[in-house]
Structure 1
């Protein structure tokens, strides 16, 4: 090994030591009794509607036997359930239970809070420089044959800014008209909900998140205070260009983490039976369908649904 390579090796090792210290990998991870690997497995399960163990092992680079032991521990704690694949009965598909989602939610929030605290200590320009440097590292260290892959897209959730409410209303009007044929009365309903949220906003108990992808608005979600113990999830929407990336689930998880941190005991929401993607997100997190009601509105015959989740 020549002198240049030796210096490079030492530089990489120094970076590893600094990085693991900065993000707390030398301490109990996220103040949890779970190992870092177990938290990573839990993350993969929480962000997939269902998955085969082989997919998770491949994604995380884990030995199959080691992963199997982790999954058995999760199953014993009631966090995991298995089902047979409709395409291949020999293949077992994995899915987190409501208890598993509840276990994961505070860990995810702690991870985001830790990352936010780390970035908050840097000047604005340095944050952007750090994110760019990390993207470059990820690109350079991609496995052989994938090094030319495009730069990973950057998705962030942020608080609303002036103009965001108008965008949320516009997106609801355009997307629901295009995809479901709903008329302008739905856009008027959303405008009324957004206006009431802003006028009556309770900052200690309510939140809105705007999702951005590469700096462009692509989604939103709101959590409103329905009572002292009940939170309501509202106006979850995702632009077509941002679907399939787990952003809808991420927005929902932010609401759940916030509600639990505030001490709400229940979260409720109203949706429609035709919104299958959103309903899948809610069901995967343990929401239970409590009421259905056929009705006529927005130029359509619809079935309204009330869902709730005990927190």
Structure 2
């Protein structure tokens, strides 16, 4: 009983501490004029081709009248467009405009800068301990477990795959050059344009009905598959979702009779590299690249199936 009470006391103390941290971060993000809640709304709209205000309110736990005011603000500022829903005349489909995507990426970067300032006094080992501690907390206190589904992509997923990777790589890795943006967008569209259902696939990970990551398999030749566009939304990292998605892609490769598979990544993707190594991939080629906004070391990883 004492151990349980000690746990309760420690969790409540941590909750008070973290609530204060969130309160500081939840104010207008570095004088941008947008709150953390508004940034989260933009994120959810970016993930869904046809978002609806009432669904956004439910997903984010936001009062519906407050959500209506946020949506009205976004529309006035040209961040979103609203169109009548074909199946429900009472609802509107909400989509980000180009300006909305630009503002979201800027807010995402500002939020990252806040967190960087928060941990700036920590060394590499301390930051690693912090990341592991947070993964542990998510693992043991996940009172509403994710409902994960892995499914083949639909046409409506293509823009999600492009936009989320552009956003994640820009905020997390600094990939911001026009060369990078063109490389990613044209690469995804080319994959879809030459898609062969007997040899290719793209899987979408869904969390509670919302897209939360993806991975593609495309044919390099009759015996070789390339894995591409592998990403997981931050909230699901460290919980095994990436492993499930990766295993699904490898199972497809074996089912289709490929003899080998390869992928390209960058050395900074430490968590992903650990996953590749754990699944038997080995580095076979490296090369420096300075065209994507920051210098990176590209790595090719290969696996005999």
TM-score of the aligned structures, taking structure 1 as reference length: 0.51
Match of 2:232 in 1: 238
Paired position in structure 1 for 2:161 = 168
Counterpart of 1:214?
A: 208
- Change in Cα spacing, 1:241 to 1:209, as seen in structure 2 (3 Å) is same
Contact (CA 8 Å) 1:160, 1:210: kept in 2 or not? yes
For residue 292 of structure 2, what is the aligned residue in structure 1? 298
Judge conservation of contact 1:210–1:217 (CA < 8 Å) in 2. yes
Q: CA deviation at 1:297?
A: 1.4
Question: 1:149: how far off?
Answer: 7.3
Residue 170 of structure 2 corresponds to: 177
What is the deviation of 1:184? 4.2
The CA RMSD over aligned residues, in Å, is: 1.5
Following the alignment from structure 1 to structure 2, what is the Cα–Cα distance between the partners of residues 151 and 171? 24
Q: Which whole-Å CA distance do the structure 2 matches of 1:297 and 1:250 have between them?
A: 32
CA contact (8 A) 1:173 1:184 kept: no
Measured at CA, do residues 212 and 149 of structure 1 come closer, stay the same or move farther in structure 2, by a change above 3 Å?
A: closer
Alignment: residue pair count = 164
8 Å contact kept, 1:288–1:309: yes
TM-score by length of 2: 0.52
User: Which position in structure 1 is the counterpart of 2:272?
Assistant: 278
Would the alpha carbon gap of residues 295 and 151 (structure 1) be closer, same or farther in structure 2, given more than 3 Å must change? closer
CA 1:299–1:264: 2 relative to 1, 3 Å: same
Q: 2: distance between equivalents of 1:196 and 1:295?
A: 22
Q: How does 1:19-30 map to 2 (within 5 A)?
A: none
* In structure 1, C-alpha distance between the alignment counterparts of 2:162 and 2:172, rounded to whole Å: 16
1:1-311 correspondence runs (5 A): 150-185=143-178, 186-311=180-305
Offset at residue 163 of structure 1 (A):
2.0
Following superposition, the deviation at residue 241 of structure 1 comes to: 1.4
Say whether the 8 Å CA contact 2:177–2:291 is kept in structure 1: no
- The Cα of 1:252 is off from its aligned counterpart by 1.0
* SS in structure 1 of the partner of residue 154 of structure 2: coil
**Cα distance in 2 between the residues matched to 1:166 and 1:152:** 27
Which consecutive unaligned segments of at least 5 residues does structure 1 have? Answer: 1-147
Contact 1:292–1:306 (CA<8 Å) still a contact in 2? yes
Point out where structure 2 has 5 or more consecutive residues left out of the alignment: 1-140
